[in-house]
Structure formats: C-alpha cells, structure tokens
Amino acid sequence: MKLTNETHEQKVKQATQEVEFRKKQVVDARYRLNYHFMAPAGWINDPNGLIQHKGTYHLFYQHNPYGADWGPMHWGHAVSKDLIHWEHQPVALAPSEEYDFEEENQDIGCFSGSAVSKGDELFLIYTGHVEGKSPKEVQAAASSLDGIYFNKYSENPVIEKPPEHLSQDFRDPKVWRHNGYWYMVVGSSVSGKGAVPLYKSQDLLNWSYEGEALEATESQGDMWECPDLFPIEDKHALIVSPMNMSNGKNIIMVGEMNYEEGKFTPESVKEIDNGNDFYAAQTFEDEQGRRILIAWMDTWQTDFPTKSEGWAGAMTIPRQVVLDDNRQVKLLPVPELQGLRENYQCREKVHLNSNEDVDVTRDDVDHSFEMLIDFDLKDTESYGKIGMELRVSNDGTEKVIVYYDLKTKELVVDTTAAGGDTHPDINRTKLDVTDNLSLRLFMDTCSLEVLTADGEAWITNRIYSALDNKRTRLFTEGTRVTVDKVETWSLKKVIE
C-alpha cells in the first residue's frame, strides 16, 4: 500500500518530545500507580490496537501528549513481553491529514481503532475525526514494518462515510479475520439506538458494507462506542460501550455469529464490570490462544484528581476472558500478574463473631497489594454482612468497604466514607454463593479491583484515599463467620 508522509513524521516527533518533557513533571507525583499501565505524562483514554505481533505485545491508547485533559487525539504506544512490564515507545499516530487534523480545531484526531498482523506488517485501522466537518468520522489505515514508526495510507480514508441511514457518529473500527476474509465492526447508531455496522474485505483497504451485525434494544443506549466482535470457544461475543445506557456502561453479549447473513444474535448480556471506573474494554487473542481484555480504568463521568499532577487515565489489569460450562463470561487476572508478588503472608482460621472486627494490617506492605480471602459460610446466618475495610485511616473514620450482603446476595464496594478525592458511591452486583466465598483484591495507589476468585463478578473503582490511610480490617455485621484464609502479597512497582 502507498504510504505518506513527512508531516506525520514531524508531528509524531514533536508529540514524542512533548511527552519526554512533561514526564519530568510527573515522576514524583503521589498518585502514580505501581503496576497499572499509565502514559509517561498527559491524558489517556481507550486502549487501542491491542495485539501480540511477532511475539511482542503492543498496547496503543488514546492520548493527548500536550496536557492532562482530553485534546487532539494521538495514539500512544507501549510494548511488552509479558503484559505486565511495559516499555514506552514514540507516539504512534498523530493528527496530520485533512481527515484527522484541522488547524485551530481541538476536537480532532486519530480516534480509537484496532491492529492486525498483515504478514510482517503491523497494520492499524482507526477513525479520523474532525468535529464540524461532514462527514466528521471516517476510517483510516496506517502501517509499520518495524512496529515503532507508522505511516498513514496515502489513499485514506478507506471508508469515507457512514451508510446513509446511520448517524454521523461512526467510529472505533475493530478488525478480525475469519475464513480468509477480514471483517470489521464500527461503533454507530441508527434512529437513536446503538448499532454496529459490519464490513468485509480481502485486502484491508477495500471494504464492503454488509448491514448491521446488531442494533441495540430500547434500553441499551443511543450510540455504541468501541465494539469488539470475536470468536470465543464455540460462540461469538460482542462487547460494546453504550452511551447513555441507564443501567450499564460496558456490556458483553455471548451468542451466535452468522457470517453469511452478517448478523450476530445475542443469547446473554452481562455488564463486564460493575465498578465506576471501567470503559472502552477491548480484547485480542494472543499467541497462546488466550482472549485478553484490557479496559480504560476511568470513564467520561469520572473525576480526575491527578490532572493537577500532569497526568490522567490508566488501564485495568489484563484479564483473560473465558466461558464457563453454562456459556457465561468470566474474567480471570492473567497469571503473569503473579510475577509481581512478594512478601507472602497467610493467616488461617480467623473466627469473627457478630459485629466484630479483626485488624489484618501488614506494616510491611504499602499501597499496592493483592489479597485472597476465603470465607467459610456454613455457619453464617442468612442475613448480615461479611467483608473487609481497606485504606482505613488511623482514627477509623475513613475507609473503603468491600462486603458480601448475605440477605440481598450482593457483592458491594462502598466508597461513601473513603475520604480524600475518592468519588463517594456504592457499587453492587448480584452474586449467589452458598457454602463459601472467595474474594480477590488488587489494590494500587489509586485503584481497587475486586473480584470473585472464579472471575464471575468484578467491581473496579479509582480510590483516591489519603495515602496514609493504610489499615485493613475484616469485619462482620449481624452475623458470624470463619475466614478460612487471608493471603496477602505486596505487588512490585513495575510502571514508571
């Protein structure tokens, strides 16, 4: 394919230098995370172009190198051999052409998209966005042989407008291969409801429109961003990030894909993560055949107290997507995360009476740790609460509470008393357990991912508690419980 271009090269260079410069301001910032991916400086949102290409994992992301607010969108870039240790690379894509750039206009750029390997080439497909232009969103291609420097296709855009009946919101192409063809879904809407148009191609450059793979129901939002349609075991799954959906924000549907008719039929729908800070989830299949998901660990509704530190936005830990025997989605932290563990400690058989708490703080562990807690529920009442208080202040007034409500059968994360800059809220998810409950927590400087050990339920939140809030307690309310085991590790700092 014919590639452009000097302008792009210059803009990439300029943006990369800007990040280098701003990095110095950010290095000692207090909320920097220890093992969650962040940009060296500036703003980030969606993960883009997740892929393992010639053995190396690539993570691209929506990025404003020029400040800690959303602005002209670039693609930041990092590579890794293990999904945990990431090495920052030069900016991969910068707005430079009439379909993704306009002088004086800040609402422009290289919006979200995906990556595929085309032989040795690392091939990117993204949305060129220029607000105020008609059409304002088109699909464009770029490619690289060294996996670092990307050139844009000289005949971009490869899809120059949305089909007539779709809205002008037409972005976030996700490409995959099936039976000798390339397929693409794009995020859009039709008559005020989310929709994913499907495209097909033989060469990644000429695309034919195949109709909508799926349209939203009344309650599933008025625009679907960041679609991701992929095979999983004997099924297909479709992830979308709906705008203005009253009871959800990032859903996964499992069902059947009919490639002849270009239609996806969902058989189940699930909110991927019930926390506040989870959006724009994307997946890819790695060379071991694992389907791995990473999401932006924030949303558009989130407050960003780290903006004053010169950076904003982070990614969740990588999670493997699996289906259980009932074809229900579960997400498991990738085993590579275990390489971060040190300072193991285990406490066994802690009995708590009703309304009792037990301090399990480890003074040798700082803000980043992993915890596994096994509750034995056999002698527990069918009402009351059991759980942990985390990031508790010395006077006990500030805390993040994680508990299981035995009566309502819900897993709950309550940040109403967290203090600091934490957004006060209560997140709940239904969870039916009987004899035991195993919870797993990943705490970092300003984030908390809580999950059931089998990966069924997840709640991800940003926690901006005071950094000297460090106590951890087990507690009960209205029932007794035996905690079979509390295992903790501190997790190493690997991210700069």
- DSSP 8-state assignment for residue 112: E
CA-wise closest residue to 39 among 57, 56, 15, 7: 15
- Work out whether 158 is an interface residue with ligand FRU (CB under 6 A): no
The distance of closest approach from Cβ of residue 224 to ligand FRU in the complex, given in angstroms and rounded to an integer, is 9
Amino acid at 361: T
In the complex with ligand FRU, the residue whose CB is nearer, 45 or 96, is 45
- Work out whether 471 is an interface residue with ligand FRU (CB under 6 A): no
- Work out whether 46 is an interface residue with ligand FRU (CB under 6 A): yes
Cβ atoms < 10 Å from Cβ of 353:
9
Q: Enumerate residues 6+ apart whose C-beta is below 8 A from 60.
A: 47, 48, 49, 50, 75, 76, 77, 92, 93, 115, 124
In the complex with ligand FRU, the residue whose CB is nearer, 108 or 401, is 108
Identified binder of ligand FRU from the candidate list 225, 298, 389, 444, rule CB under 6 A: 225
The 3-state DSSP class for residue 29 equals coil
In the complex with ligand FRU, the residue whose CB is nearer, 45 or 479, is 45
Count CA atoms closer than 13 A to 51's CA, side-chain side: 21
In the complex with ligand FRU, the residue whose CB is nearer, 197 or 384, is 197
For residue 24, report the phi and psi dihedrals to the nearest 5 degrees: -60, -35
Contact by Cβ (8 Å): 274, 294: no
The catalytic position among 28, 46, 366, 444 is 46
Q: Enumerate residues 6+ apart whose C-beta is below 8 A from 200.
A: 181, 182, 183, 184, 207, 208, 210, 262
Identified binder of ligand FRU from the candidate list 18, 100, 172, 414, rule CB under 6 A: 172
Identified binder of ligand FRU from the candidate list 53, 88, 152, 171, rule CB under 6 A: 171
Identified binder of ligand FRU from the candidate list 114, 127, 276, 427, rule CB under 6 A: 127
Residue 224 CA to residue 242 CA, distance in Å, equals 4
The distance of closest approach from Cβ of residue 144 to ligand FRU in the complex, given in angstroms and rounded to an integer, is 20
The distance of closest approach from Cβ of residue 228 to ligand FRU in the complex, given in angstroms and rounded to an integer, is 12
# residues contacting ligand FRU (CB under 6 A): 14
In the complex with ligand FRU, the residue whose CB is nearer, 193 or 471, is 193
**Cα dist. 180→79, 141, 202, 203, 206 in Å?**
28, 20, 8, 10, 15
Task: Kindly tell me the sign of the dihedral angle through the C-alpha atoms of 100, 106, 112, 115.
Answer: positive
- Work out whether 73 is an interface residue with ligand FRU (CB under 6 A): yes
The distance of closest approach from Cβ of residue 92 to ligand FRU in the complex, given in angstroms and rounded to an integer, is 15
- Work out whether 462 is an interface residue with ligand FRU (CB under 6 A): no
- Work out whether 45 is an interface residue with ligand FRU (CB under 6 A): yes
- Work out whether 189 is an interface residue with ligand FRU (CB under 6 A): no
**Cα dist. 174→30, 50, 196 in Å?**
36, 10, 10
253: left (phi over 0), alpha (psi -120 to 50) or beta: beta
- Work out whether 114 is an interface residue with ligand FRU (CB under 6 A): no
Q: Which residue has the tokens 């306009």?
A: 102
The distance of closest approach from Cβ of residue 298 to ligand FRU in the complex, given in angstroms and rounded to an integer, is 9
In the complex with ligand FRU, the residue whose CB is nearer, 34 or 302, is 302
Residue 441 CA to residue 460 CA, distance in Å, equals 10
Identified binder of ligand FRU from the candidate list 62, 156, 427, 447, rule CB under 6 A: 62
Whether 46 is catalytic: yes
In the complex with ligand FRU, the residue whose CB is nearer, 102 or 172, is 172
- Work out whether 111 is an interface residue with ligand FRU (CB under 6 A): yes
Task: Kindly tell me the sign of the dihedral angle through the C-alpha atoms of 321, 323, 329, 330.
Answer: negative
The distance of closest approach from Cβ of residue 223 to ligand FRU in the complex, given in angstroms and rounded to an integer, is 8
- Work out whether 240 is an interface residue with ligand FRU (CB under 6 A): no
- Work out whether 226 is an interface residue with ligand FRU (CB under 6 A): yes
Joined tokens for residue 461: 């939140």
Contact by Cβ (8 Å): 440, 317: no
The distance of closest approach from Cβ of residue 127 to ligand FRU in the complex, given in angstroms and rounded to an integer, is 6
- Work out whether 236 is an interface residue with ligand FRU (CB under 6 A): no
Longest C-alpha distance within the chain, in Å? 72
Residue 461 CA to residue 399 CA, distance in Å, equals 14
Task: Give the footprint of ligand FRU on this chain (CB under 6 A).
Answer: 45-46, 62, 73, 111-112, 127, 171-172, 187, 225-226, 279-280
Just list the catalytic residues: 46
